[in-house]
């Protein structure tokens, strides 16, 4: 979801007013932005910098430090494949390869063109007994296979077309 540079950011000004302009308000302000756009657009970070009188470098520092924030557009649905040791030896790479192949993704491009899906690899999620494990939109699935993974993604796509 690309936003126009000249869009109204009144909603954001209200949020900043609500939280206040102190440095400790930055995280909840960024969370609001992340929640709205699913990433932190550059022009919005510049606006925050100006409104909160914080250096843009500080905002980038926070935006790139916490995993909850992204400075790149993300898909509506997030598929996180665990590539920790237990999952790796039980086939995580096959799951990753299948998603990349079917959705024309690679190490540099991890979001589909239609912004439906973002593929991420993550370190151990604490579900090694169910390896290989994946997280789809916050839900953990274990004993995953490439085919099961594609079925889950197909269900997501089907739900989207029915909405």
The residue ranges that bind ligand FES (CB under 6 A) are 82, 84-87, 124-128, 131, 133
Shorter beta-carbon distance to ligand FES: residue 15 or 131: 131
Q: How far is the CB of 153 from ligand FES (least distance, A)?
A: 19
Q: Which is nearer to ligand FES, 93 or 115 (CB)?
A: 93
We find the least distance from the C-beta atom of residue 89 to ligand FES, in angstroms, to be 9
Instruction: Decide: helix, strand or coil at residue 80.
Output: strand
| Edge-to-edge strand list for the sheet holding 134-136 | 117-122, 77-82, 134-136, 139-141
In the complex, the smallest distance separating the C-beta of residue 120 from ligand FES, rounded to whole angstroms, is 13
| Residue number of the CB atom closest to ligand FES | 84
Residue 84 neighbours by CB under 8 Å, 6+ apart: 92, 122, 123, 124, 125, 128, 131
CA dihedral (142, 114, 39, 108) in degrees, to 10, reads: 70
* Residue number, 86 or 152, with CB nearest to ligand FES: 86
Q: Give the shortest CB-133-to-ligand FES separation in angstroms.
A: 4
DSSP letter (8 states) at residue 111: B
Instruction: Rank residues 5 and 89 by Cβ distance to ligand FES and give the closer one.
Output: 89
CA distance 153 to 120: 14
């Amino acid at each position: 979801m690309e936003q126009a540079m000249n869009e109204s950011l009144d909603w954001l000004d209200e949020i900043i007013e609500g939280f206040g302009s102190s440095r400790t308000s930055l995280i909840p302000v960024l969370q609001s932005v992340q929640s709205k756009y699913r990433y932190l657009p550059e022009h919005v970070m510049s606006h925050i910098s100006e409104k909160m009188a914080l250096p843009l470098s500080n905002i980038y520092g926070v935006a790139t430090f916490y995993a909850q924030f992204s400075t790149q557009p993300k898909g509506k649905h997030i598929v996180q494949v665990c590539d920790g040791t237990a999952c790796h030896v039980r086939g995580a790479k096959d799951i990753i390869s299948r998603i990349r192949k079917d959705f024309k993704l690679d190490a540099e491009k991890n979001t589909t063109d239609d912004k439906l899906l973002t593929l991420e690899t993550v370190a151990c999620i604490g579900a090694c007994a169910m390896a290989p494990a994946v997280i789809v939109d916050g839900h953990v699935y274990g004993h995953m296979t490439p085919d099961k993974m594609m079925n889950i993604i197909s269900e997501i796509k089907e739900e989207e077309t029915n909405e």
